Structure 1
Amino acid sequence: MHKKRLIDGWQHYTGGLGGVWEVWRADKLNNHYNVPWHQVQLPHSYNGLDVMDPDSTYYQGEGWYRTRLSLQNPYPEGRTLLHFEGAGQKTDVYVYTEKIASHLGGYDEFTVDITEAAAGNQLERYEGQVPLAICCNNSRDLETIPSDANDFHAYGGVYRYLNLVYVPAVSIEDMHIAAQCHGLAEGGEKGSLDVQLSLYAPQFANENIAIDIIVKAPDQNIAASVHWEGKQWEGMKSIAQIELDEIMRWSTEQPRLYEVEVRLASQYGETARTVRTGFRTFEFVKKGPFLLNGERLLLQGTHRHEDFAGVGPAMTEAMITEEMRVIKEMGVNFIRLGHYQQSRIVLELCDELGILVWEEIPWSRGGLGGEGYRQQCIDMLRAMITQHRNHPSVILWGLGNENDWECDFDYFDQEDIRRFMKRLHDLSHEIDPTRKTVIRRCDFCKDIVDVYSPSIWAGWYRGIYTDYENSCKQAADEVNSFFHAEWGADNVARRHVEEPYTGFQMIDSGGGSTDERDGDYLLTGGEPRVSRDGDWSETYFCDMIDWYLSAQQRMDWMTGAAQWAFKDFATPVRPDSPIPYLNMKGVVERDLTKKEAYYVFQSYWSKRLMARIYGHSMSVRYGQEGQARTVKVYSNAATVELFCNGVSLGKRNRNSEDFPAAGLRWEVNFQPGENVLKAVAERDGQIVSDELSFVYQTESWGKPVQLQLEIERVSADRHVVYVKAYDEHGVFCPVAANFIRFSAAGDGKLIDNLGTVGGSRLVQLASGRASIAVEPGGAPGAYIPVEHFFTAGGPAITAREQDTRKQLRTTIVSAACEGMETAFVTIKEQL
C-alpha cells in the first residue's frame, strides 16, 4: 500500500454553484468566470474564522474544493482510493463532472474508489492529470445529526486529512485485533490476539493469497509470527489466534503497545497494514469504583472538542499532538471526546499517552427524527466502533448526550427514544462486546446503558459548589455505574478578582438540586444562579475546581469525573458571552494558552513536582494600604514557603482537606506599587519555585469613563494594542468588565475572530484590560489616501505626514465602549 496526504495544490470556493460543471468551465472559457477560487491547504474548514465573527452567524451551506491529481499507481490492475479521515457534514466527490460517491456524516472516515473514473477522464486540457472536485455541505437539516441546538458548530469542509492511497487489486480492507488477557500462569501472564481481516478486491474473486503476521512487543522484539495461505474470502474473517506468554499490560501510567503487522501477497502485488493494540482489563464495579487491570483507578478527566483558534476543526497533526501533550501534562488519565467521533490521530495519541477514552456519536439534543435520522445514528455508531475498536484506550461507547432536550420536532416521545436507545445499546454490544455503553443527561434512559452520567453543575447552573458531594452520592444511588461527565464554570481568561462571587445566599441549594435544565445557560431570566449572576472570573473557577477535586479524593466509591471542557470553544448558542459565540469553560484558551485553572488540576493530578502562585496574568492587585490580601499557591509539594519582596512569610504544609489551595495560602500586606512574590516548594528533597510580580493599587476608583491605548511591537509583522479603562480622575479600574470593540483602518488589519481574549474585536474587559493583535501590512488593496481612513475626532494629521504617506504603512486602531470616548492609536511602518 502506498499512502500520501493530499495537503497542497487545492483551491476553494465558499458558496453554492450551479452544478459541478461550474467548477471546471472557466478552464474551457479561459477565464475565471466570476467564481473567486483561492488557494488552501488541507485540512481546511470554511468556517475557521466566521464562527467567531461577533456581528453575524456562521455560514452554513456548500463549500467546494478542486485540484488535479497526477496518478502513478505502482500496482498492475491496482486500485486508486481517496481515504477521507473526516469531512463535514455531507460530502460529494466528483472526478471531473462525474459524481463518484456521497457520504453523510461529518465525523467518521470513508473511502472512495476512483480507479475507473480516473482512467476515463484523462482529458487533453489537463495534460494527463485527473480533475477532482469535492463539495462539502453543512446546511441544516432537521433529519440529520447533530442538531443545531447543540453547544457546538456543525463545521463544513475537508477538515481532516485526505489521503491518496494505491493498493493492489487484492488488498486488506479492514483489520481488527482482539487482545485478551488470560491471567497469570507459570512463567508470566498469558494473552491472545485474534487477528481478523476483510479484503478489498472489487474485480477479482477466489484468488490465491498468502499472509504473514508479525507481532512486535512494546520493546520492539518479535513476540510471534504466523504464515497463512489460502483463497480470498468475503466479509470479516479470523485468520489467526496467536497465544503469547509473558505479556506486558497497557495502563495509564505505562501505556505499552503491541504492533501487529499483516502482509498480504497475491499475484497482483503485496500490501501491508499495521495495527497497534494493548492488553488490559477494566471494570465498573457495581455501585463502586473503576478498576483498571484489577486495581482501583480514579478517572481524572476532561473533554475535548475538535476546535482551535483560527482554523476551527481543521487542526494539523502537529496541533493535535501538542494539545494532547498539554492535556496529559495536566495529569489527565481519561477524556470524553464530545460529542462525535474524532480524528484517528487523537485516538492514537490516547493509546500512546495513556488516556482512557469515552467516544460518542453526535445524537445530541433535539429529539428523535424519522427513519433516515435513525439510520444515520446507526451508521455512525457502527462506523465509530469498527474504525476505533482496536484502540486499547477506548473503554466507553457513547450513545447520546442530553437526549431529554427537545426542540427539533413538534413531537417528543420518551418511549420511542427509549426503544431507539435500547437498539443502539444492543448494536454496540453486538459489534463490540468488550466495551461498555454510556450516555449523559437523559434520566428516562439511564437504566438502559451500562454507565450513566447525570447533569450535575453544582456552583454554576444550579446550587452551590459545596453541594457537589451530596449531589453525586444521590445520583450514584440511582444507577449501577455512575460517572460524572461535565462540570465547571465559564471563566474569562485574565479576569481576576480579590473577592470571588459569594452570593450563594440567593441560590436555592435545598434538596441537592444541581442539575442543569433547559435555558440555564442563558444569561437572563430564570432562577438565581452563579452562571447568570457571578463574575466569570478565573478566581471563582479555581476555587470551584479546588473544592471539586478535594471532594473527589474523598469519594472512594467514585469511578471518576471529567471537567467540561479542556479548551474554550466556538458555539452558535452563546452570542452574549464576554467573547460572543464562545463557551468559556476551558482551562486553556482556544489557542492553548493556559489559564490559572490548569495548575489547580496539576496540583491534584500531576505526578511531577510543581508550584504555581495564583495570578500570573493579574498585573494589578488592589485594596487599601495595610489590608491583608490572600496569596494562594497551587502545588503538589509537601511544603511550600512564600516570600514577598524577599522576606519569608513562613512555610505551609499541604492538606487537601484545607480549602482553598490545600492550605497553601497566606494573608499578606502588600506595599503600594511594585511587589514580588516567590514560592519555593519541596517534596522528598526535590525543590521547585515560582515567581511573579504585580502592582498593588491603593487608589480607589469610580465608574470607568475613559480608555487609554498602548502599542507593543512583538515581531516584524505584528503589533499588540492594549486598552485600559480609567475613571474620570485617571485612576485605573481593575474590575471594569465593559464590552470593548476594536477596529482598524488603513494598511493594516486586526488579527481577530480567534475566540481568545487577545484575538477578538468585540470582547469584555478582563480586570480592566483588553488587547488585540494587529498586522500592519495585512489589509487588502493598495494605497488608501489618509482622508479616507482617519475618523473624525481622531488624531490630528500634519501636512508632512500626508506627504510621506505613500512611503509608510499606516494603521489606525480604535477602541470603543458605550458611554466612553473612543480612543485611537496610530501604527506606522516604514516601507
Structure 2
Amino acid sequence: MMRKVFSFWLCALLCSCHVLMAQQTIRVNNQWDFLKSDLGGVWEAMRPASEGSPESVPLWQKVTIPHCFNDRDGVDPDVNFYQGPGWYRTNMDIKNPYNNGRTFLHFLGSGQKTNVYVYTQLIGSHTGGYDEWSVDITDAVKNFLQSPEAKRFKGKVPVAIRADNTRDLEMIPSSMSDFNVYGGVYRPLELVYTPALSFDAFHIQATTDAAGNEGSLTFSSSFINAANLKDASLEITLRDPRNQVVKTITQPVALSSGEQQLATLSIKKPVRWSPDQPNLYTVTAKLSSAAGTAEWSGTTGFRHFKFEEHGPFLLNGKRLLLRGTHRHEDHAGVAAAMDDATIRKEMILMKQMGTNFIRLGHYQQHPLVLQLCDSLGILVWEEIPWCRGGLGGPIYKEQARRMLTNMISQHSNHPAVILWGLGNENDWPGDFPEFDKEKIRQFMSELHHLAHQLDSTRLTTIRRCDFCKDIVDVYSPSIWAGWYRGRYTEYKQETLKEIARVNHFFHAEWGADSHQGRYAENPEFFIQQIATGKGADERTGDFALTGGNARASKDGDWSESYAVNLVDWHLKEQETMPMLTGSAYWVFKDFSTPLRPENPVPYVNQKGIVARDLSPKEIYYVFQSYWLTQPMVHIYGHNWPIRWGNAGEEKEVRAYSNCAEAELFVNGKSAGVKKRDSQNFPAAGLRWNVVLQPGQNNIRVVARNGKTTVTDETTWTYQTEKWSKPAKLIVEKENQGNTTLVKVKAVDANGVLCLDAANLITWSVAGNGTLIDDLGTVGGSRKVQLANGQASIRIANNNGKSVVAATADGLTTGLIEL
C-alpha cells in the first residue's frame, strides 16, 4: 500500500516543479576552490601561484556547491562552530547565446553576508542568508574578457565569492537563536542567461470562493529590460491539472519600470487544490520583442481558506484539522547544504507520516521545499528570521523589511502558502541594552501592514510574543505541556484557555527531546516532581539542563518511551477539540544548535520525529497511527533491543495502528484481539500485558481494517539479571568492508549489562583509522550518552591497523584493535 502512495507522490513531484525556459539556467556546482578564513583582499584569490612559492599559501580545498563551511563543526562536541568569512573561487566558461543578452549569477541562498567579484572587481553584495538574489555580471564579464589579464585565464572568467556568517547584532537572525546561523554558499548557485528583454519576477494571484464556483487569476510581472524597449507582445497559456489548455491570452504590453499587471482571467468551477488532492494548474508566459522571445513557466492552484474566530480552520469550505510539523534546513554531514534528493526524501517522509501542514522555521527556505509542498499537498507557514534578541536599528529593520518583501515576492505563487510569519519569540531580549516592548509592537505592526500590502490574500502570524498577539491575524502562544512546564495531561486545558484569548489561534511548537535508541520500562518515574496548574508556557532558560523548577526537559530521562507517551496523549486530545485549528510538532528532524552543548548528542536539538540523518524515531509511527489514512501498524519498540524485568512479570506490549483492530502474537501464541479506540490511552487501546520469556522473544502483530490486513514483527531479548552501577566498558566490532562498526556496552563488576546507564562516552582512535563523526547523530558523534547502556560509531579503516578506545568518567576504558 505504501509503495502505491509513494508512486503517486513521486509522479506529482516530477510533473509540477518550476521550469525556466528560453532563459538558460545552469547550476555551477563543480570546480570550486574554498578557503575557510579571510583573505587580505580579493587579489589573493586571483594572483598567479608558482609551485613552491609563498604565493601558493594559503591552501585551498576542492568543494562542490551547495557547500556549508559548518558542515561538521556545527556539531563538533569540542569547539564552537566557526563564524567568520569563507572564500570560494572558480573560473567560469561564460557564453551567453542571446544577442545583447544579460548574464546573472543567481543565489538561492548564501549565508549570511555575501560579496561577488569578477576578477578583482566587486560586482554585488547581499545581506541575508535565506532569500534568493541575483547579481548582473554582464558588463564585468565583457570588460574582463577585453582586458590584458584575460589571456592568463584562457578565455574563462575568474569569479570569487566571499560568504560571511560573523556575529553581527544588526543582522537577523540573532545569534541567540536556537539554531546555527550557518555560513557558505549552501544552496544552489545558478548561471542565468536572458535575452535583453525578459521576465524578472512573474506573479500569479489565484483566488476562488469557498464553494469553488468561480476562479480568478491575475498575472503581473516586472521585467529585465536592458535594451529599454517600449513594446512587446505577451502570450499566456493556462493548462489544467490534466494538462489540457483552459485558455490562451494574447495581447500587446506597454513596458514600464517596476511591476505591472498584465492580465486577468476567470474560469468556472476550477479544480481545487487540497492536501488530499493537490491539483495544480500550469501557466506558461511568452514575451516576444525585438530582443527575441523570453518564456516563463510555473504552477498555481485554487483554494479557499479561513480561520474561524476561536477556531476551527476551513479549507474549501470544510473543516480541516491542520496536522503539522516544522522544518529546519539542516542535515547530518552537510548542515544547510542539502541536495535535492535529500530534500525530496525528507518531504516525502513527512507526507507519508500524514502531515498536511508545515511551519518553515525560522527563515525563507529552499524553493524546492515550496514546490514539494505544492505537489505533495502540505499547507505552509513561512517566516522571516526576526528571531529572538530584541529589535535593532535602521540597518536591522531594513533587512527585515527586505527579507519579508523578498519572501512574499519569491513564494507567493505557491498555493500551499497560507501564512506569512513575521517573527519568532520576539519577547526574548538580550542582543541590545534596550528592550522596548512598544518599539517592538510598532515594528511588528509595520511588518503586518507591509505583508498585507504585498499580499492581500494571506494572513500574518507570529509565535510566542504575547504583547504582540493582537497585531497579527493568527497567533501561536507557547504551550509545552509535559516538557518545559507542567504535565502533558494538562495540554487540553491550557489549549482551550489560549484559544479563548485570541481571535485566531494556532499551536506551533510542542513536543519532547528524545535520545534515539533510549527506552525505559518506567519513563515517568519523575512525574510527581512536576507541579500542575502553573501553566505550560516555556520561558527563557527552560532549555537548560540545570536550574529552575522541576520539568521533564531537565528531570526526565529523554527516552523515546516518554516522547511516545507525550505525543500519543497530545494527538488523542486534539481529536476532542472541534474548535482547534491545528498544531505543528517541533520539530520534524533533529538539528544543530549552539545553545545545547550538554545534550546527549552535543549541540543537537533532539526533539525530531526523525534523527538528523532522517532515520525515524518511534514517535514517527505514533503520528502515522493518528494521521495516515493508508492502513499501517507498528510495534512500539522496534529499536529496543533488550527489555528488562523479573522472570514471570507481565510487560506491556503496544502496537500503534490506524486499523480497527489488532491481534498480538508472542512467540507464536495469540495474546488476543484488541479494538482501536483513539481515546483509550495509550496506543488507542492496542496494548497487551504479556509474560516474556528470558532471552529471545518473537513479537508479531496483525492489524485489520475490514478485509485489509497489515502486519509487523520484531524480536526482543528479555533480561532478568539485575545489575549494579556501571564499572567498565566492553568494546566489540563488526567489520563492514571499508568501515567497521564499533559498539560499546557499560557493564557492572559482574559483567551484567547496565540497561539504564546513560554515561557520556568519548570515542577515540589511534592508527590508520578515522572516526566517522561530527554528524550530530547517536552513531555519529565522538561524544555521546549511552542509550540503554550502549552506543556505537563507525570507523573508516583506511587500509591499515587501528585501536579504538571508548572512555567514560569513573569506568574502565574499553579498547579494541581493528
Give the TM-score band, short-chain normalised.
over 0.9
Report Cα offsets for 1:438-475 as digits up to 9, x if no partner. Answer: 00000000000000000010000000000000000111
Question: Which of 439, 444, 468 is residue 491 of structure 2 equivalent to?
Answer: 468
Partner of residue 33, structure 1: 56
Mapped contact 2:210–2:316 kept (Cα < 8 A): no
Mapped contact 1:207–1:266 kept (Cα < 8 A): no
Q: Does 1:141 align with 2:168?
A: yes
Partner of residue 719, structure 2: 697
Mapped contact 1:742–1:813 kept (Cα < 8 A): yes
Distance 2:801 2:792 in 1: 19
Partner of residue 17, structure 2: none
Correspondences of 1:582-731 after superposition (within 5 Å): 582-714=604-736, 716-731=737-752
Distance 1:462 1:166 in 2: 55
Higher mean C-alpha displacement, 763-772 vs 258-267: 258-267
Q: Specify the SS of the correspondent of 1:554.
A: coil
Partner of residue 816, structure 1: 807
| Counterpart AA for 2:271 | M
Q: Specify the SS of the correspondent of 1:753.
A: coil
Partner of residue 189, structure 1: 213
Distance 1:677 1:26 in 2: 67
Partner of residue 181, structure 2: 154
Q: Does 1:480 align with 2:507?
A: no
Distance 2:616 2:209 in 1: 43
CA RMSD of aligned residues (A): 1.1
Distance 1:181 1:756 in 2: 45
Question: Which of 441, 450, 453 is residue 476 of structure 2 equivalent to?
Answer: 453
Distance 1:210 1:759 in 2: 58
Report Cα offsets for 1:708-754 as digits up to 9, x if no partner. Answer: 1111123x322211111110001011111000000111111010000
Distance 2:362 2:785 in 1: 28
Mapped contact 1:183–1:191 kept (Cα < 8 A): no
| Counterpart AA for 1:623 | G
| Aligned-pair CA distance for 1:821 | 1.4
Distance 2:578 2:266 in 1: 37
| Aligned-pair CA distance for 1:30 | 8.3
Distance 1:569 1:231 in 2: 49
Distance 1:412 1:213 in 2: 51
| Aligned-pair CA distance for 1:189 | 3.0
Partner of residue 418, structure 1: 441
Q: TM-score, normalised by structure 1?
A: 0.94
Partner of residue 20, structure 2: none
Distance 2:545 2:740 in 1: 34
Question: Which of 229, 241, 244 is residue 218 of structure 1 equivalent to?
Answer: 241
Partner of residue 123, structure 2: 100
Distance 2:56 2:800 in 1: 33
Distance 1:281 1:92 in 2: 42
| Counterpart AA for 2:794 | A
| Counterpart AA for 1:143 | E
Distance 1:816 1:154 in 2: 32
Question: Which of 245, 250, 268 is residue 268 of structure 2 equivalent to?
Answer: 245
Mapped contact 1:168–1:268 kept (Cα < 8 A): yes
Aligned residues: 791
Mapped contact 2:253–2:262 kept (Cα < 8 A): no
Partner of residue 90, structure 2: 67
Question: Which of 549, 569, 576 is residue 527 of structure 1 equivalent to?
Answer: 549
Partner of residue 169, structure 1: 196
Distance 2:523 2:715 in 1: 21
Report Cα offsets for 1:791-826 as digits up to 9, x if no partner. Answer: xxxxxxxxxxxxxxxxx6112111111111111111
| Counterpart AA for 1:537 | S
Mapped contact 1:183–1:190 kept (Cα < 8 A): no
Higher mean C-alpha displacement, 239-248 vs 40-49: 239-248
Question: Which of 568, 587, 605 is residue 565 of structure 1 equivalent to?
Answer: 587
Report Cα offsets for 1:566-606 as digits up to 9, x if no partner. Answer: 00100000010011101000010000001111000000001
| Counterpart AA for 1:531 | S
Mapped contact 1:182–1:192 kept (Cα < 8 A): no
Report Cα offsets for 1:385-406 as digits up to 9, x if no partner. Answer: 1110000000000000000000
Q: Which runs of structure 1 show a deviation greater than 6 angstroms over 4 or more consecutive aligned residues?
A: none
Partner of residue 546, structure 1: 568
Question: Which of 258, 261, 265 is residue 288 of structure 2 equivalent to?
Answer: 265
| Aligned-pair CA distance for 1:208 | 2.8
| Counterpart AA for 1:475 | E
Mapped contact 1:709–1:721 kept (Cα < 8 A): yes
Mapped contact 2:483–2:551 kept (Cα < 8 A): yes
Q: Specify the SS of the correspondent of 1:324.
A: helix
Mapped contact 2:210–2:304 kept (Cα < 8 A): no
Q: Specify the SS of the correspondent of 2:144.
A: coil
Q: Kindly, what percent of the aligned residue pairs are identical? A: 51
User: Can you give the 5+ residue segments of structure 2 that lack an aligned partner in the other structure?
Assistant: 1-22
Distance 1:30 1:234 in 2: 54
Question: Which of 299, 302, 322 is residue 276 of structure 1 equivalent to?
Answer: 299
Distance 1:190 1:427 in 2: 28
| Aligned-pair CA distance for 1:564 | 0.3
Partner of residue 804, structure 1: none
Q: Does 1:395 align with 2:422?
A: no
Q: Does 1:825 align with 2:816?
A: yes
Q: Does 1:234 align with 2:257?
A: yes
Partner of residue 785, structure 1: none
Q: Does 1:130 align with 2:121?
A: no
Distance 2:660 2:377 in 1: 26
Q: Specify the SS of the correspondent of 2:800.
A: strand
Report Cα offsets for 1:374-417 as digits up to 9, x if no partner. Answer: 11111111111111000000000000000000010111100110
Higher mean C-alpha displacement, 242-251 vs 337-346: 242-251
Q: Specify the SS of the correspondent of 2:349.
A: helix
Q: Does 1:13 align with 2:13?
A: no
Correspondences of 1:308-457 after superposition (within 5 Å): 308-457=331-480
| Aligned-pair CA distance for 1:641 | 0.1
| Aligned-pair CA distance for 1:29 | 8.3
Distance 1:764 1:339 in 2: 29
Q: Does 1:736 align with 2:757?
A: yes
Report Cα offsets for 1:748-798 as digits up to 9, x if no partner. Answer: 101000000010100000111100011111xxxxxxxxxxxxxxxxxxxxx
Report Cα offsets for 1:322-380 as digits up to 9, x if no partner. Answer: 00000110100000000000000000000000000000011011000111111111111
Q: Specify the SS of the correspondent of 2:758.
A: coil
Q: Specify the SS of the correspondent of 1:526.
A: coil
Q: TM-score, normalised by structure 2?
A: 0.96
Partner of residue 773, structure 1: 794
Mapped contact 1:206–1:231 kept (Cα < 8 A): no
Change (3 A) 1:182 1:476: closer
Partner of residue 76, structure 1: 99
Distance 2:492 2:779 in 1: 36
| Counterpart AA for 2:747 | Y
Mapped contact 2:321–2:581 kept (Cα < 8 A): yes
| Aligned-pair CA distance for 1:24 | 1.3
